Amino acid sequence: MAESFIISTGTKQQQYELLIAQFEAVLDEEAGQIANMANMCAMLKEQFNWLWVGFYLVQENELVVGPYQGPLACTRIQRGKGVCGKSWQSGKPLIVPDVNQFSGHIACSSLSQSEIVIPLSKEGIIVAVFDADAETRSCFDEVDLLYLERLLCLL
């Protein structure tokens, strides 16, 4: 059973590569979507030490907090509101180098300084958004987007 996680060193790409391989082993042992989302969050939080990492699930006409790791989260987010709501509305990922410069940012934690949000769709309909926040500005880049999208595709 894949119950241990090895934190890797090296370039960001090397860290993601090992994390993806380890997450694939987790998926081999578990079919439950919520369990796999929870484990993905735990692995990313441990590997990169981000402030917050998790999922918001689309329920009716709002995003509702799902599996996550980090401090207390905003529970519900309206479509088009904040980074998560705007990503959900547009259907496109958002990388925000400085959340203080993002018009309409929802500050669930004043410690958050940068953010990446990626919508997840099933049969063309967005069913959730993945969200990660960091305590440093410009923490996330195109490398994160590439590898996080690869990781999310495994779900």
> How crowded is the C-beta side of 92, counted as CA atoms within 13 Å?
4
pLDDT score at 2: 57
Domain-embedded: residue 118: yes
> Model-level pTM?
0.94
Q: In what order do the strands lie in the sheet with 76-78?
A: 76-78, 62-69, 52-59, 125-134, 114-122, 94-96
Domain range for 112 is: 12-153
pLDDT average per 10 residues of sequence, the chain (155 residues): 80 97 93 95 97 97 97 94 96 96 78 94 96 97 98 95
Q: How many domains does the chain have?
A: 1
pLDDT score at 85: 96
What CA–CA distance (Å, rounded) separates 62 from 75?
10
Given its phi and psi angles, is residue 24 left (phi above 0), alpha (psi -120 to 50 degrees) or beta?
A: alpha
For residue 124, what is the domain's CATH number?
3.30.450.40
